[in-house]
Amino acid sequence: MAGDFDMGKKPRKTKRKTKSGQPTPDRVIDAALTLAATGGWRQLGLAGIAEEAGLTLAQLRSVFPSKAAILTGFVRRTDERVLAGGKAGDEDGDGTARDRLFDVLMRRFDVLQPDRSAVRAIIRDSLCDPLAVLCQGPMLLCSMASMLEAAGLSSAGPIGALRTKGLALVYLIALRAWLKDDSADLAKTMAALDRGLRQAEKMAAFLNSGRTARA
């Protein structure tokens, strides 16, 4: 019996995987994307994300308290990278508003490209959760407002709100094409985006002509 219980030894603790550096939002986001790409988003838990990131659960929660917060962080990081990828003065450059919006949104797809499998899993699993879809709506509109501003178009006021909603619709249609686009140059995505922007441009011209006629 004495051999069964050695009171002089403490239980061995399981060592957690660690990674160099301090806990950062990027580490958590990247870990969540890695796991989502391989196992889906719906069943993914914070404990699994923490382990993948080399953090304790407490460390992860100090950065992101929930999966929804991680997703918000991912969208915000995408916005920042798109905006940082533009050249100074782009909003005042040559080209029509449609051309500038095309460039900005294609830059967004380029930023997302390395994580396409994860984005596909997140979208697929989120569609099964109506509450999650509703929560993501305002986040999408905020992102599209930033994209408008990056293209030199105001997102302020009633007209800006209409532009933002219209661009969100165009983006979602192009996003659907991007998720299935296996071409090396994203030709299908570009075609869908160009088509959507042209239709939006025609609608805007129609609305403007109506206002002019009433005036």
Q: Which burial class, exposed, middle or buried, applies to 108 when counting CB atoms under 10 A from its CB (0-12, 13-18, 19+)?
A: buried
Q: What is the mean pLDDT of residues 101-126?
A: 96
Residue 175: pLDDT band (50, 70, 90) is: very high
CA quadruple 34, 35, 41, 45: dihedral positive or negative? negative
Which are the contacts of 182, defined by CB distance < 8 A and separation ≥ 6? none
Share of the chain above pLDDT 90, in %: 71
Q: pTM value? A: 0.82
Cβ within 8 Å of residue 135, ≥6 positions away: 68
Mean pLDDT is lowest, of 7-16, 48-57, 93-102, 201-210, for: 7-16
pLDDT band at 5 (very low <50, low <70, confident <90, very high): very low
Compute the distance between CA of residue 150 and CA of residue 23 in angstroms, rounded to an integer: 31
The chain-wide mean pLDDT, for the chain, equals: 85
CA dihedral of 82, 124, 140, 149, whole degrees rounded to 10? 30
Confidence check: pLDDT of 87 > 70:
no
Q: What is the mean pLDDT of residues 3-9?
A: 42
Cβ neighbours of residue 192 under 8 Å, at least 6 residues apart?
173, 174, 176, 177, 178
Provide the pLDDT for residue 43.
92
Determine contact, residues 3/17, Cβ cutoff 8 Å. no
